[in-house]
Structure formats: structure tokens, C-alpha cells
Structure 1
């Protein structure tokens, strides 16, 4: 091994002491050389030589402080110390380094020193941490890196979830432009309603009701093809409005007949607005404008039924997807409320019989009606409610048995639906449902009632008072407890 390599392996303190000794010996040799030559020079030359030697000695003393080893760890040339004190360099330290005191300078010949106890700064400790990681086994390094990446992803995903949930919450509970205008009297002219604060508080029959701003309101629409001359139209065949209270966890589902007469916006085939006409609510989904979907047009008509109550969110799904959804969870078991012949195997299913519906049986059960009867849609809505309860009760066991059911349901629904719900809203709804939603058996079903008459088709006309009572019962909460519900 060479002499240079030996010196590199020596402790730093020994190297520093050896360097100082060599430099001191070199200076002493120069001084001796000058004194030898001084004797041979003239007095003037001797004076100049002595002055030169003294200057060199003073310069070395000014640059270097030679201190006892037991007192200080190492000394630092003055120029290096000044560089060390520069802003960029000193900012990397903890502030523990300090200038030598006057007594320390006098104890040393002159110079700038670092006491042993003050030597190590922040940068030095950080270097040790890097060394620690460097000397870890490869498997441990990989484990640390992977764990760090996973932690970063968890933090990122968690932050994104919280942001989306908050955006969804604000969007779903935005009542800044809320305004409801109800008639002050019933059809007979009797004064029954008083409205305050743009409809946020409504007094009906002496009882005050306040808008429930904790609700998530979503209009669900089952889309089906019409019949006869309307065969090419995509009609709103099943209409349900869900009101989910995010504070209490209660859920109310309002069923609205497709035959309900409402004000519907009409659009041309080019999407241009034509006019607003009174017709069956089912037709609202068939008309759509340039920036108005069928689902949006349906929610607008429903909002008008309830005096401008804001209903912005909808989810419309093609009824043809029902067969696949039904069979994905292994069928739906319920007690039949009608007698019918199975379109699958031709057997008779009697009223009151418990049966598991498969394929076209489920489709037949929720979509068939006797058009010769004016109120046939009401009987069909009753069966639809029965099916919805049974379906929701069957989903959880099916998912526990086969987790892939979730992705299958999601794929079928998304490919056969249109909705106003974006990712932020869905995130908020899912979060609220997971923390507050109770069992499917606790869902309360409410129907909008009206008188059914025969026009070109069956027509259900809802009175102002009936619409008001339904709106207060679903979307408002009484400021005082009302025995037996809303007063007649």
C-alpha cells in the first residue's frame, strides 16, 4: 500500500496534526535559512530579511491557531472560517457553531476555532442518515421504498377523496337560488298557505314546515319504448324521486305515475325549443334540446309539479337492462301481488305465492299492465316498489357470495344509463350512504295521488293541495310535531 493511501486511512485528527507539524517545520526552516543568510548580508539587507521573516510568521499566525488537542477538535484557517460563515453554508447548520471567545483566542496564538462539543451541525447528522440507508440490506431498502410509495399513494388518494366529497356536498346541498311559489288558496279559494323566506318556510293549516336542506334528492327514471305511434320514443315509464336525509339516515321514495299531467317543454328534432304544453309526464323524456337531455327535461317537469322545488339530479336507465341486472344477483325473491303466466317456462304464478324471478319473469312483473284499465299503472307501480325492496335486499348477500357482482352491476348500469351525477357527487353520496344509510326495509314509499280520467290516454290530475301536502311530507320537516302527519 502506498504512503498516500496510508495517510488517507489515518484518523482525521492525526492527519491535521501532521499537516500542522509539517507546515511549522517548513516555516522554521525558512526562518533558519534567513538567519544564516542574514550574517552574510549588509545591515540594510539584514533588516529587510528580518522584516520579511517576521511578516511570514505573522501571516501564518493570522491564518492558523495551534491549540491543545484535549481542548479543541481541530482548527480552521481564517479564510475558510469566513467561507464557513457565509449565508448559504451556515443555513445548513443548526446554529450550534460559534466564534471562539477572546480568552480562547488568547489561549491559542490567534485564529478561529471550533470546540469539540460544538462541531457537529445539522448537515453532518443528515450525512449520517444517508449513510444509514446506504448500508441497509437490499431487501430492506426495497421494503422501505415500497412502503414510502404506498404511504404517498394513500395520502394522495385520501386527499383526493376528501376534496371530491366536499365538492359533491356543496353541489348537492346548494340552495342559494332557492325559490318556491305556492298558491295561497286551494281550488275552492280557501286561504290555506303562507310562504316565508322564498319558500324555505311554509305554513299550511296552521303548522309551519321548514325546507330540509340535509336531503340528497335524486330522480330515478326507468326508460322504455312507447307503443303504437309512439313506438320510436324513449318514454319515462317509471319515475321515482329519492330523498335521503344525510343527518338522520332516513330515506323516502316518492313514486310519480307516468300518467301524471304536467307542463312539458317541447323541442324540435334539431333541439330547438318550441313551446311548453300540458301532457303526460312520460312524454317529457322523449323531448330533448341542444343542451337538455331527456332526464333533465323530466326533472324540470317534476319541479314544476312542486312549485319550482329545485330537482337537479337524475339517473335514467334503460329498462331493457333489468333482465341482466336481475340475473347478475341470482334472481329476486318476493311475494307476487298478481297472478300471471311465466314467460320463461309457461307455469302459472299465483297471487300471494313466494317466487324467485329470473330473466324475463322479472321484466314481465315490473313492466306489464292492463291498458284496458285506467288505473293499471298504479297497480304496476305497486309491483315495482315490491321488486325494488326485494332487489335491494338481495344485492348484499349476492356481493358477499361473489364480489365480482359489483363490477358486473356497475358495467351493466353505466352502459345503459345517463345521469347528471359526476364523480364528486357520487363520492359524496357513497360516503354519506356508508355512514348513515340504514337497511332497505326502512325505506318509506310515498305516492303522489290524483284523479285518473280518460283522455286520449289515461290522465292523472293532481290538485294543488295534494301536490303541496306531498312536497311538505317528503322535502320539508315540521317545526312542531304534527300528530298523525300532515293535517288534511
Structure 2
């Protein structure tokens, strides 16, 4: 990747801070049949297409884009991992930075999304992609570069070959550190977490500190209706507040970026250089944050008993257009 492209990769207002903030997890499987997967598929714009014709409109590929994939891993950070023991990329979010229009867009990716995922052998040899949950590819790798690269490829496959430039992953043990860097996040509990923490009863308003943040964003099966969608909604509520507080810190103190990065570094693996990141976060602190894109789709239980999510083809097509293209007048 050239230097100009690397610098653009960190050019969002929250860049790594929000990237790390988004590393909230969605582990486990929801074993309840919801609906059948669609039988028809809509053609996605391919990465090499500079223009796309759709419904009588012409769209062209936008310039000045950089994409960063954020991964939250359901495993504590380690120096090394045995084969298939690196965990799963249970939280996935694509950040698209537009240096021309000064915007940040985010694509929320369900961990159970079925898409072609490259399989790695025990010696690292590569096999043809297999249709499976997008989260599982991370475990084939080393918990670092190869795990991230396999997951990046799976996201690119999902999006019709659109390029993901850079990536950042974080182990689950970084959640409480990130939360406390922001001074704690105040929430009103719509579910009862008291079986895990007696202070976290339904209806209580409290500021989450330490392990309470992980409890709030990760717990699923024993909480409320127990669905991944309910947890993702809870995560989105948390993310919005966390991002606001981190954003305020960034705007007040340029050095906060490096302070936060250094505190989070033990839990992170990324190909975004530290110095470039800090400079560009500060330079682009006023980028406009667009609403998070959440593709519609259906869930069903697969033959192996695990939940599978099939994005609605038209919804995914629209997401790709919104993230990577602009309509020609």
C-alpha cells in the first residue's frame, strides 16, 4: 500500500478510537428458527466496475475512499495460538472514510453472515473458500496477521470484491480498558443482569466501569430474549455514547489519541502505523458521521445446528452502492 493510501486509512475523526470502541462482541449461537433464506440473489457491483447501471441510474466509484475492517475477537489476547484456537471475529464492522466528502460511514456485519471464507490448513496452506459463517475464518489463522487477512478476504467476498485497505482487531480483554479510558459509560438497563452483577438490575441507570462494560455488551443467552439482534441493539446504544465521549476527548486534547492508543495496544493487532494514526485522527476530527448501515436479512439454523444469517440481496446491493459509489447527475 502506498504512503498516501496509508495516511488516508486513519483519516476519520475517531479513527482507531472509534474502531476500538466498536470492538464489542457477539459470541455464541442463537438456536431458534426465524425464517428461510431467500432463493434469489441480486448482483453486487464488482470492485473493478468504475460505473454501475441500476434502475435507470448511473453510479460511479467514489475517489478518496479508505476502508478499515474492525474485528472484535471472542478470546483474550495471547502471544500465540494453537491451530483453530485463535477465537472468532464475533464483532465485525467496516469503516469507510471519504477524504473528499469528509464523511465516515459504517457497515454493521452480523457475525453469522454466510459468505465464502478461505480455509487455512494446520501449516498455513490455503484451500478454496467455503460458504460458512463469516466469523469463523479468524480461527484458522495465527490470531494476528493471517487471521486478520482471512477475515478481510471474507468481507471482500461478501461485498462483491470491494477492497478493504486496513484492519484492526482487539481481544475481549480490552473492553474494560477502553470503557474506563472514556470515563465510564452511563446507561439505563432495559434487561436484568443481576445474576452476573447484583448492581445491574433492570431499570437501573448506572455508569459502567471495569468488567460491567463487558457484561453489558457481550452477555446474550441469559439476558432478555437472548438474541444476537437484541444484543447488537444494546451494543449500538453503548457505541454511540462511547464514541461521543471519546470524540470530546480527542477534540480537547491531541495527545489523548496517543495516550489511548498506548493503553489499548496490548489488546490490539493492526496494520495502521501509530504515528500516522494519531496525526490523521486529529486532522480529521470534524468529519461527519453518517448513520450506520445495517443490511436486512433472514436467519435460519444450519445443518450443524448453528445460526446462519443471509443478507437480503437488494439490501446488501444498496449498502455497497452507498459505501463505495455515488450517483451521476
* TM-score, length basis structure 1: 0.53
SS in 1 for 2:119: strand
Q: Which residue of 1 aligns with 2:327?
A: 478
284, 296, 312: which one aligns with 1:449: 296
Cα-Cα RMSD? 3.7
Q: Tell me the secondary structure at the aligned position of residue 284 of structure 2.
A: helix
Cα pair 1:333 1:356 within 8 Å, conserved: yes
Structure 1 residue 449: Cα displacement: 2.2
Corresponding residue for residue 215 of structure 2: 364
Q: SS where residue 234 of structure 1 aligns? A: coil
Match of 2:174 in 1: 321
Q: Which has the higher contact order (CA 8 A, sep 6+)?
A: 2
CA distance in 2, matches of 1:361, 1:290: 26
Aligned residue runs from structure 1 range 265-280, under 5 A: 265-280=118-133
> Is 1:249 equivalent to 2:102 in the alignment?
yes
The 1:320/1:172 distance shift into structure 2, 3 A limit, reads closer
Give the drift of 1:312.
2.5
Q: Mind listing any 5+ residue stretches in structure 2 that lack a counterpart?
A: 12-37, 77-82
Give the C-alpha shift of residue 401 in structure 1: 8.9
Kindly indicate whether residue 68 of structure 2 is the aligned counterpart of residue 218 of structure 1.
Answer: yes
Structure 1 residue 212 displacement after superposition:
1.7
Alpha-carbon separation, structure 2, partners of 1:405 and 1:289: 31
Judged with a 3 Å threshold, the aligned counterparts in structure 2 of structure 1 residues 464 and 437 are, in CA distance, closer, same or farther, namely same
C-alpha change, 1:208 and 1:167, in structure 2 (3 Å) is: closer
Find the partner of 1:437 among 287, 290, 293: 287
Question: How do 1:283-294 and structure 2 match up within 5 A?
Answer: 283-288=136-141, 293-294=146-147
| Structure 1 alignment gaps of length 5 or more | 1-163, 174-185, 481-488
Q: Secondary structure at the match of 2:124?
A: coil
* Equivalenced residues, count: 294
2:202 is matched with which residue? 350
Bigger fraction of residues in strand: 2
1:465: Cα distance to partner?
A: 2.8
Q: Identify if the C-alpha distance between structure 1 residues 404 and 349 changes in structure 2 by more than 3 Å, giving closer, same or farther.
A: farther
Task: Tell me the residue number matched to 2:88.
Answer: 235
The counterpart of 1:304, out of the listed 134, 151, 157, is: 157
Partner of 1:379: 230
Alignment of 1:185-224 (within 5 A): 198-224=48-74
**Per-residue Cα deviation, 1:204-263 (whole angstroms, up to 9, x for no partner):** 22222222222221111111139xxx9944110110111122122222211101010111
Q: Distance in 2 between matches of 1:205 and 1:238?
A: 33
Instruction: Give the Cα separation in 2 of the matches to 1:374 and 1:213.
Output: 43
Give SS of 2:269's match: strand
- Residue of 409, 413, 417 corresponding to 2:264: 413
Note the C-alpha offset of 1:422: 3.0
Of Structure 1 and Structure 2, the greater helix share is in: 1
- Contact persistence 1:326–1:332 (CA under 8 A): yes
**Residue 6 of structure 2, aligned match among 164, 168, 171:** 168
**Residue aligning to 1:183:** none
Runs of 4+ in structure 1 over 6 Å off: 170-173, 192-197, 371-375, 399-404
Residues 371, 262 of structure 1: alpha-carbon distance in 2 compared, 3 angstrom cutoff: farther
Q: Verify: 1:395 aligned to 2:239, yes or no.
A: no
Q: The residue matched to 2:135 in structure 1 has which SS?
A: helix
Per-residue CA deviations over 1:192-214 (Å, capped at 9, x if unaligned) read: 86979941211222222222222
8 Å CA contact 1:329, 1:395 repeated in 2: yes
Equivalent position SS for 2:74: strand
Shift of residue 452, structure 1, vs aligned partner = 0.2
Structure 1 350/418 Cα, relative in aligned 2: closer, same or farther at 3 Å?
Answer: same
Note if contact 2:115-2:133 (Cα within 8 Å) is conserved in structure 1. yes
Structure of higher CA gyration radius: 1
Asked if the contact 2:9–2:68 (Cα under 8 Å) also holds between the matched residues in 1, the reply is: no
**How big is the shift at 1:350?**
2.3
